[in-house]
């Protein structure tokens, strides 16, 4: 199945814009810019929506505006309205369990404590959606997890995340068209 909806997870508001927890927003913002697509506020979807065409296929981009822990509300609203199956959804999110700049693609599985994923699983009543896990690492100090993810990364860490985006961007066409195994192989070995 092809990907029809790419969801970037993050929190709305300028105070969160540059935090680690918003790397999903950063990624879909980059896609919107690359494909010259503009965001429009969609109150019925509780989010910002953009769209672009890739090889005659329409792809929606979504930034839920419900805060991370309630992301499922926006994802379900868009999926129902456009008749998009969970297997046609790619959720892009921050991942504490991966070193900064590491990227992994997977389908299915639990939420591993990520409240955005937990809420999406709950609303979709399914775990069978794709996840693009963007490594943000763990705090090297005893910093509380919430404080760490809601803080800004160093310039070095931010550069590593954007370098990972470049790697993923070379795979977008293959990913959207459904060549998941090949994309996984290339992302996970580079």
Q: Is residue 188 annotated as part of the catalytic site, yes or no?
A: no
| Domain locations along the chain | 5-189
Return the structure tokens found at 33: 């810019």
Element of type H or E holding 70: none
Instruction: Show Cβ contacts of residue 164 under 8 Å, excluding neighbours closer than 6 positions.
Output: 101, 102, 103, 134, 135
Instruction: Show Cβ contacts of residue 31 under 8 Å, excluding neighbours closer than 6 positions.
Output: 6, 37, 52, 61, 169, 172
Q: Which of 21, 93, 111, 188 is catalytic?
A: 21
pLDDT digits (tens, 9 = 90+) for 108-131: 888 877 899 999 999 999 999 999
> What's the mean pLDDT in 1-13?
95
Element of type H or E holding 57: strand 57-64
Q: Could you give the percent of the chain with pLDDT greater than 70?
A: 99
Which pTM does this prediction carry?
0.95
> What's the mean pLDDT in 34-50?
96
Domain at 5-189, CATH homologous superfamily: Peptidyl-tRNA hydrolase (3.40.50.1470)
Longest dimension (CA), the chain: 49
């Amino acid at each position: 199945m092809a990907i029809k909806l790419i969801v970037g997870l993050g929190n709305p508001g300028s105070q969160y814009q540059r935090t680690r927890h918003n790397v999903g927003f950063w990624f879909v913002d980059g896609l919107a810019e690359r494909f010259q697509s503009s965001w429009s506020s969609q109150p019925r979807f509780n989010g910002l929506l953009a769209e672009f065409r890739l090889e005659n296929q329409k792809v929606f981009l979504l930034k839920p505006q419900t805060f991370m822990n309630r992301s499922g509300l926006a994802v379900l609203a868009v999926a129902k309205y456009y008749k998009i199956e969970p297997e046609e959804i790619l959720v892009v999110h921050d991942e504490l369990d991966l070193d900064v700049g590491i990227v992994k693609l997977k389908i299915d599985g639990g939420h591993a404590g990520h409240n955005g994923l937990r809420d999406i699983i709950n609303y979709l009543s399914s775990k069978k959606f794709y996840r693009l896990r963007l490594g943000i690492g763990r705090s090297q100090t005893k910093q509380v997890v919430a404080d760490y993810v809601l803080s800004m990364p160093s310039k070095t860490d931010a550069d590593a995340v954007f370098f990972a985006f470049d790697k993923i961007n070379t795979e977008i066409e293959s990913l959207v068209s459904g060549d998941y195994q090949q994309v996984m192989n290339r992302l996970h070995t580079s």
